[in-house]
Amino acid sequence: MSDIRGVGLDLCEIRRMNSWLEKPTYLNRVFTEQEQAYALSRGATAPSSLAAMWAAKEAFCKALGCGIAFPLTDIEIVHDEGRPSYRLHGEAEKRADGCRAFLSLTHEAGVAGAVCILI
């Protein structure tokens, strides 16, 4: 069994993402094209998806213990067969140093949350 190297938890208000949908500059700084396409494909629940992905990125940084020390687009949230996971690029991949990252997302009552466990 592998040792846990880090745990991160984050919450994000979903309504915060409503204004971001009107400002592509913010979206492009935080989310990859694939993440944006996924969220927009969700229709009315796009803000919930964006908030959950934001929380996932923050949770990852907290699990690393570094804060936001690189572009958030280096952390990509993918949904393979409905199951969310991380795809790391650039500095995020380098700082993860071979760790496996596990992710759980949720959203309810105006709030989205994410938990990241690094092994």
Share above pLDDT 70 across residues of the chain, in percent, rounded to a whole number: 99
Residue of 4, 7, 3, 31 lying closest to 17 (CA atoms): 31
The verdict on residue 1 lying in a domain is no
pLDDT tens, position by position, 67-89: 899 999 999 999 988 799 999 99
Q: What is the count of structural domains for the chain?
A: 1
The verdict on residue 106 lying in a domain is yes
Please check whether residue 25 is in contact with residue 67, taking contact to mean a CB–CB distance below 8 angstroms: no
Q: What DSSP character marks residue 45?
A: G
The verdict on residue 46 lying in a domain is yes
Residue 53 dihedral angles phi and psi, to the nearest 5°: -70, -40
Rounded-to-integer distance, Cα 61 and Cα 32, Å: 17
The verdict on residue 41 lying in a domain is yes
Kindly list the distances between the CA atom of residue 42 and the CA atoms of 35, 37, 46, 47, in Å, as whole numbers in the listed order.
11, 9, 5, 9
Q: Which residue has the tokens 């280096």?
A: 74
Mean pLDDT of the chain: 95
pLDDT of 16 over the 90 cut:
yes
The CATH number of the domain holding residue 15 is 3.90.470.20
pLDDT of 47 over the 80 cut:
yes
Domain ranges, residue 93: 6-118
As given in the structure block, the two tokens for residue 93 are: 């991949």
* Per-residue model confidence (pLDDT) at position 1: 57
pLDDT tens, position by position, 6-15: 999 999 999 9
As given in the structure block, the two tokens for residue 22 are: 């009107």
Output the pTM of the full model. Answer: 0.94
